[in-house]
Structure 1
């Protein structure tokens, strides 16, 4: 059912903390995502879609503005920066173009600019003492009635699901999946290092405490993560079914992606979204629009978060603001071309450490701007073709290549700083935004 104005609809689903490689459509062996796998078969899968800034607040700001974090300035979760009034913002652009805009989300509790451009902002977290406790079922309980009530209008609807962000508390009906061991085995020492870190100590005394003692097996926590993916997959399946039942499918651009992934013990990072490695930076991106986006296709082009807003605008036939530095990949997504994407992507984080990364199709170079409080090296180089798990740092083995990529990265940063009129790299100016938090014993 086309809206009376003839404008197509947009449904943007962002799943918090969802890494791409834990979905069946990205090769995962556990059956975590039957609904998303079916959706992938109906549309196009972006195989190399990456977060530009960690964690949630920089990532969502990037998605909305179509700007790299260095451009919009929000580089830290809870940092001092605020978004400029003149920054482009996707919901504002769409409401001006005649769309009814709605979000089922709670980020506006953290930063005021996440309200911009929304006629309807529905926050289920006001019923909870912790905003992270909102379940996928609760998101749907608000989103689906709104969808039914506004089906005749041209709309932009954002759904922000928090599963599988921790605390990992999946619905009871999924608790039997993916694990048959002893989660509290006292002889298992695998999590002892994590207990010495702030979030690990907190988790041990809260959502990972059982009557028989704290959880000791990381495999059990990975199973909880996968169970939460199964729960959010079910919710997204219900959303897709409702879109189809209402006859909106052929007139709705449906996008499913994540703000960032999660490290599940890789690189000694336990159940956190930090570290500029593939588990955290590479996120899923699925797109469906029957008749406009070919079904059953996969794109290998390098794409990033700030490419999404200009892509949506071009798909709708709307002007892309010059202030957006993202690159529309609508010609790729629609099948109009088979070439495109970026030669290299630039990532940054300002969490327990402040770091930049440059990734090409084959190599990744990571550069620290201040000492990593968790002991990471200042410079890292990985050959992703032969070492996709990023386990062998080649900085000492390939000094010329490392130097060339570092020069390329520093030149990109310097060019952007000059264009923005900034005297100092904001990662240097602000430093590790979580660095002052106390370590909980």
Structure 2
């Protein structure tokens, strides 16, 4: 995929473009190539294979960034690295990601590189939603849309995270999605509310509530 993208960029050097690269490697059955597994043990477990898949994607993104630097377009390109969900590997007695809302599933990378608008080393501590990603990209790109995307631009966080107005982030999963792995993956419909410190989770069918101080307990 990286090679195809770089070939595409080479043909559009003088024109603006948008590209979405879906590195699906970080997904079950987590079967990274042998060269990526080096350093993860001779008999890697599920978590090792998951981590190796992430390492392989990291290497590909590094190759992409290096190529954009070499062709002189890196600093004029908005680069965003993110994911649609994380993964449970036994935390809370559950696995996978399809039907639960614990922090390892909700807390995903959101890395933005664009030197003219995003200061190097800026770290956002407030929880944000991927719902706001499209509005953020149009803002950073200087575009004004007649019919704007839903959500708000996150660009206000980049110079001063503490000064940005934040609201708790809501998430919900209404029903369990079937899994063919045979591993426990859901407790039923869930709702979650997340702010800068606390996560409240409600398991609807059981009317069970869990409150986590994730500054003290990342699980």
Coarse TM-score class (shorter-chain normalised): 0.7 to 0.9
Q: Is the 8 A contact 2:123 2:161 kept in 1?
A: no
Instruction: Select the residue among 338, 342, 345 that pairs with 2:169.
Output: 345
Gap regions ≥5 residues in structure 2:
177-187
Q: Is the 8 A contact 2:132 2:152 kept in 1?
A: yes
Runs of 4+ in 1 over 6 A off after TM superposition: none
Larger relative CO (CA 8 A, sep 6+): 1 or 2? 1
Please state if 1:367 is matched with 2:192: no
Compute the displacement of 1:338 (Å): 4.7
Q: Is the 8 A contact 1:302 1:341 kept in 2?
A: no
The whole-number CA distance in structure 2 between the counterparts of 1:156 and 1:304 is: 21
Coordinate RMSD, CA, aligned: 2.2
How many residues of Structure 1 are paired with residues of Structure 2 in the alignment?
Answer: 208
Compute the displacement of 1:320 (Å): 5.4
Please state if 1:388 is matched with 2:218: yes
SS in structure 2 of the partner of residue 223 of structure 1: helix
Q: Is the 8 A contact 1:257 1:284 kept in 2?
A: yes
User: What residue in structure 2 maps to residue 231 of structure 1?
Assistant: 56
Q: Which moved more, 1:247-256 or 1:170-179?
A: 170-179
SS in structure 2 of the partner of residue 297 of structure 1: coil
Q: Is the 8 A contact 1:263 1:274 kept in 2?
A: no
Please state if 1:141 is matched with 2:19: no
Compute the displacement of 1:321 (Å): 6.1
Compute the displacement of 1:224 (Å): 0.6
The whole-number CA distance in structure 1 between the counterparts of 2:211 and 2:58 is: 35
Higher helix share: 1
- Residues 238/350 of structure 1: CA separation in 2 closer, same or farther (3 Å cut): farther
Q: Is the 8 A contact 2:126 2:195 kept in 1?
A: no
- Residues 179/260 of structure 1: CA separation in 2 closer, same or farther (3 Å cut): same
The whole-number CA distance in structure 2 between the counterparts of 1:242 and 1:323 is: 32
The whole-number CA distance in structure 2 between the counterparts of 1:342 and 1:221 is: 36
Gap regions ≥5 residues in structure 1:
1-138, 184-218, 372-376, 390-441
Q: Is the 8 A contact 1:332 1:338 kept in 2?
A: yes
Compute the displacement of 1:337 (Å): 6.9
